[in-house]
Amino acid sequence: YNKTLDWSKWYIFWSDERAVAKNHAESNYRITKEGFLSKVPILNGHVYSINDNATVEDAATDYEFVIRQLVKVRTIGVSESNDCPKFDLILLSMGSDGHVASLFPNHPSLELKDDWITYITDSPQPPPERITFTLPVINSASNIAIVTTGDDKSEAVHLAISDNADGPEAPSSLPARMVQPTDGKLVWFLDKSAASSLDAENDDAFEQHREY
């Protein structure tokens, strides 16, 4: 795809980021730069990373301001239903606890309605300080892809997507289950291990998709 895509049309943002320096081993920017951005001709001016010299609160505020300005000039589309930015694609992974982006189970950030970007200082996984898209922004995207692998994710996958998932975690406090696009498409990409707790009907569906 390096030669066949019009990379000048690509704009890159981070749905969540750790409040660490860009050259830090846990920086999502560094991981993305090394694994993707350094290998394709996306314009440097189209890559929007957070300010790693600011406090996590200021970084979140600045990031939301930048995105609001890009929505204002329609570089980023806008959702007709809630005025949130409408990204073409939001790519997520899911933790074994069911978190997506930096939205963790039972965290107050899950309740935010008006903020586009928020920050946390108490992540249950290190590092503790992070910025993250909120659920209204994630759910406003045209396409959402959740990529999940490994045995340790299988129960969270079951709780997130199975129609017959039950228990206190499933409907209300599992962030991955709360990813429900308002006017877009959600696709899960699972390996066999991550899908191992799904019921037989869902297993058959995933097998058919895998064959294609």
For the chain, the domains span 7-190
Q: What is the pLDDT of residues 148-168, one digit of tens each?
A: 999 999 999 999 997 765 554
Over pLDDT 70: what percentage of the chain? 89
Say what the pLDDT of residue 202 is: 52
> At residue 206, does pLDDT exceed 60?
no
Cα 114 vs. chain centroid, distance in angstroms? 18
Q: What single string gives the DSSP state of each residue in 86-100?
A: E-S-EEEEB-TT--B
How confident is the model over 102-123, as a mean pLDDT? 96
- Band of the pLDDT at 208, cuts 50, 70, 90? very low
Which CATH number is 7-190 given? 3.40.50.1360
Coil, helix or strand at residue 104: coil
Q: What is the pLDDT of residues 142-151, one digit of tens each?
A: 999 999 999 9
Residue 89 has φ and ψ, to the nearest 5°, of: -150, 130
In angstroms, rounded to a whole number, what is the distance separating the alpha carbons of residues 185 and 208?
19
Give the mean pLDDT of the chain: 91
Q: Around Cβ 60, how many Cβ atoms within 10 Å? A: 25
> At residue 171, does pLDDT exceed 50?
no
Q: What is the pLDDT of residues 25-65, one digit of tens each?
A: 999 999 999 999 999 999 999 999 999 999 999 999 999 99
Number of H helices and number of E strands within the chain? 5, 8
What pTM does this model have? 0.90
Q: Nearest Cα to 150, choosing from 93, 207, 194, 206? A: 194
